């Protein structure tokens, strides 16, 4: 019989799938394989809040950066060069948040990875689609952070264009994240506030993650935050080099621009155009 109720389509998606044979339940698929009590929803929700905040900050500052580089006609008149430190601050926040998201993502994945081996692998079509959306979210986030980190080093070992790929991966992550939050809304709401009975070891684990994020941030944020410049051990750029105090990514010799043709010139468009030899 055909379901004629208003939510008939959702009920069809939620129909149970036939379970796979128990003979396939070997290795990490066996019950009791993962014994750590930290693989539980409350820890995942706390880490998810921190990671979500970093991703949202990355996405918003990335959109601003993309708009400043290629402003559409209707927006060009609204974008100005003031304040002079505006782009340094927003792009600095983008890199800082992206760097902090790396240890957060590692901790989050460690907390939830046993669910990759849950049994049965898919209870219904709806559950299967939910897991597919999580796979897209994890894969896109890993690729985004990996390529973004190498971009700070100006190393591009891949054949695709970085800026366009980085831009569209940001949209993919945001959409998949919204779907994930919607699918897990009940679990997130249940474990959002502090539990009545703290889990032994949770506070130490979260404290270790927070300390790792703080250490990574302090040792890289100096390339943007002047008063942290003495701690930027891992920062790929040094903004205090050069006679004008501008970030120097590579020398003229490294960029291959030591020899300039005699007819070379630079044209600057604007209300008062300039032509520089």
List the beta strands (DSSP E) in the chain: 266-268, 274-276
- Over residues 201-243, the pLDDT tens digits come to 999 999 999 999 999 999 989 888 888 888 888 887 776 666 6
How sure is the predictor about 3, in pLDDT bands with cuts at 50, 70 and 90? very low
pLDDT of residue 141: 98
State both tokens at 30.
């066996």
Q: Within 27-113, where are the H helices?
A: 41-69, 73-76, 86-112
State both tokens at 185.
């809304």
State both tokens at 71.
């402003």
- Over residues 22-67, the pLDDT tens digits come to 888 888 888 888 889 899 999 999 999 999 999 999 999 999 888 8
Measure the CA–CA gap between 52 and 43, rounded to whole angstroms.
14
């Amino acid at each position: 019989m055909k379901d004629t109720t208003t939510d008939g389509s959702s009920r069809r998606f939620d129909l149970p799938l036939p379970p796979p044979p128990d003979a396939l339940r070997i290795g990490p698929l066996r019950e009791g394989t993962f014994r750590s009590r930290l693989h539980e929803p409350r820890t995942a929700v706390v880490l998810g809040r921190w990671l979500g905040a970093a991703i949202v900050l990355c996405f918003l500052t990335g959109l601003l950066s993309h708009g400043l580089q290629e402003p559409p006609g209707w927006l060009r008149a609204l974008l100005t060069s003031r304040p002079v430190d505006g782009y340094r601050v927003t792009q600095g926040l983008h890199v800082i948040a992206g760097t902090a998201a790396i240890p957060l993502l590692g901790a989050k994945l460690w907390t939830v990875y046993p669910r990759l081996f849950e049994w049965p692998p898919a209870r219904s079509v709806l559950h299967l689609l939910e897991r597919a959306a999580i796979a897209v979210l994890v894969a896109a986030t890993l690729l985004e952070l990996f390529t973004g980190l190498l971009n700070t080093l100006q190393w591009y070992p891949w054949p695709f264009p970085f800026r366009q790929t980085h831009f569209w991966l940001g949209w993919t992550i945001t959409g998949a994240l919204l779907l994930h939050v919607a699918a897990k809304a009940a679990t997130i709401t249940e474990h959002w506030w502090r539990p009545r009975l703290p889990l032994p070891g949770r506070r130490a684990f979260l404290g270790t993650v927070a300390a790792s994020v703080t250490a990574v941030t302090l040792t890289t944020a100096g390339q943007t935050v002047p008063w942290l410049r003495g701690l930027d051990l891992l920062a790929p750029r040094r903004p205090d080099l050069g006679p004008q105090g501008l970030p120097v990514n590579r020398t003229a010799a490294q960029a291959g621009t030591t020899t300039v043709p005699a007819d070379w010139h630079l044209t600057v468009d604007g209300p008062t155009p300039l032509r520089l030899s």
